[in-house]
Structure 1
């Protein structure tokens, strides 16, 4: 998540620094930038550049400054509002698809504040269809149906999921068994659903959920075993609550194409690995990656795991877990658009 923190007062600025210092070691926060004052003009710039904005100011200032920018729950960034004293963290916008609710709880815990979340499914302890989609990294083909589905969930109506009978949906079944929160759910299998896709239905209303590509980028010293790499992959998967069966691909640089540990793990987990050509890596540019001076000096590429993952995930993909080192192994995660 690319995060911006905007404040207007000295106390708000000090709180911004406190939050940033706590988030800098969070691998799910790809970048965290601080801005101060000139709220309206700054929000005009931040709104389209960040996944989430934390506004430390009075709610009236925030609402008046951001209202003209709002477009859709599928595209608007997550927006949180915090008072100068850090007493309350309020989820203001894009609570589900944008991740504002989850971020609200995280920030509130970091600064010992009270989280304020008002979305109906959350306050009634129900699982929204858009929450399921975000948690499992699925896109929704007809976002206009989200409101109907979530209203039906609140009313206790049955939601049916139809899956392709030749695909592995362990990640979905495990998720539903752990997160149904009293929702009435049925699971059906059919060859009429495309591979990997999930068809949700309620009262003749349908939503098609399509998996976004999840790519784990891997870099490692020569000789690292598949078990070593697997432990690192599992740690990152646990951090993101991603079931191993949900990973679509591994990615690394061409210089690692004969690395036995990566090849053995790819075979063991039945997850294909893409070794990206050095020429593509040399041309790759992104403000979000952490460049390695060593790799640049030796191979003239900015890095291994992050650029390889982003290239493999495709155009306009983004990092959701920045490069993390594990004793000679680096792992990151990229998500397709």
Structure 2
């Protein structure tokens, strides 16, 4: 897939609008029936096809993040029904009527981004966006997208549907936020009265609620899981920074084992790790690079001078002798996270030294666009 969107048209008027849309919507490949050939398709990169559009849809589903169809809604529903897999895999599907009056979000409105794409397409064509997702219509929390713009991960989708129902039906909702970005309410109106925010699990468990959205980097205790996740969804924000030091040539599996074991000892989730931080001498350390690649973590590095600007309780002359810094893992974790202290100041295990710091709520980076 070289571009994220495919636009498909099968009628004269549809081709007119599709060509205009393809010119204005970035990242678009255009497909239409060969009988509407204009002669400039090769020059513009437009693609022609023969026969039923149904024949090319399975391939488009695999290749594109979003598919925009200038075809009747009923026909689209019949054509895509046999190739649907899962809401976490299916692309966004948007349907435009033959007069360009309505842009309809049909499939993967939230996770696939169809609702957002529908608004963008409607704006370009001057159409009316038709979005039926209850949380969008009611302007409330979209459970399956909650915090996604900040990089939060959902631990499990098992209860996403019943919790979403509780939210849109205005039942008592507990948002339990121990860590993570707090600017998640996007609407220009107060938070509804049926949604209450609690700073920690203990306070929430003293109240009565029908569903819970739990935002934490901790591994919940069994009793906490029972109370909060019987009808709740657990979110993992990117709040943990790992400062890592190691001997040259330390293999990735040893570094990974120290990380996983240390997080487990501290009852912290590996899904909440934001990045690894270290000294710039280690920017090409293959073991660290391999671990970052496996977990899709960024690697941030600092000069000895930057590391030495962080006061250490236990500076090391030995480390200074070899690196020019009085510590590596401890100051790197603090610098990257901008935290005032460590969750774990330092632990040495074999060839690896690890420190952990938590990103303060007020200093979280802005949401990804």
TM-score (norm 2): 0.50
SS for the counterpart of 2:158 is helix
Cα distance in 2 for residues equivalent to 1:125 and 1:133: 15
Distance 1:197 1:274, change over 3 A: farther
TM-score (norm 1): 0.55
Contact 1:149 1:202 in 2 (8 A): no
Per-residue CA distance 1:163-187 (angstroms, 9 max, x = gap): 44xx5x2x3x112375775251313
Per-residue CA distance 1:206-237 (angstroms, 9 max, x = gap): 21223479xxxxxxxxxxxxxxxxxxxxxxxx
State whether structure 2 residue 242 is matched by structure 1 residue 195.
no
Number of residue pairs matched?
Answer: 218
SS for the counterpart of 1:129 is coil
- Pairing partner for 1:151 from 141, 162, 165: 165
Query: Which is worse superposed, 10-19 or 137-146?
Result: 137-146
Contact 1:133 1:140 in 2 (8 A): no
Greater RCO, CA 8 A, separation 6+? 1
Considering only aligned residues, what root-mean-square deviation do their CA atoms show, in Å? 3.9
Match of 1:318 in 2: none
Cα distance in 2 for residues equivalent to 1:70 and 1:212: 31
Match of 1:110 in 2: 124
Contact 1:161 1:185 in 2 (8 A): yes
Contact 1:89 1:107 in 2 (8 A): yes
Distance 1:334 1:57, change over 3 A: same
Cα distance in 2 for residues equivalent to 1:137 and 1:89: 29
Contact 2:4 2:65 in 1 (8 A): yes
Cα distance in 2 for residues equivalent to 1:61 and 1:137: 36
Match of 1:18 in 2: 20
Gaps of 5+ in 1: 25-30, 214-245, 258-270, 276-332
State whether structure 2 residue 201 is matched by structure 1 residue 174.
no
Distance 1:111 1:155, change over 3 A: same
State whether structure 2 residue 63 is matched by structure 1 residue 36.
no
- Pairing partner for 1:126 from 136, 140, 144: 140
Cα distance in 2 for residues equivalent to 1:98 and 1:126: 18
- Pairing partner for 2:90 from 76, 91, 104: 76
Contact 1:142 1:207 in 2 (8 A): yes
Distance 1:177 1:102, change over 3 A: closer
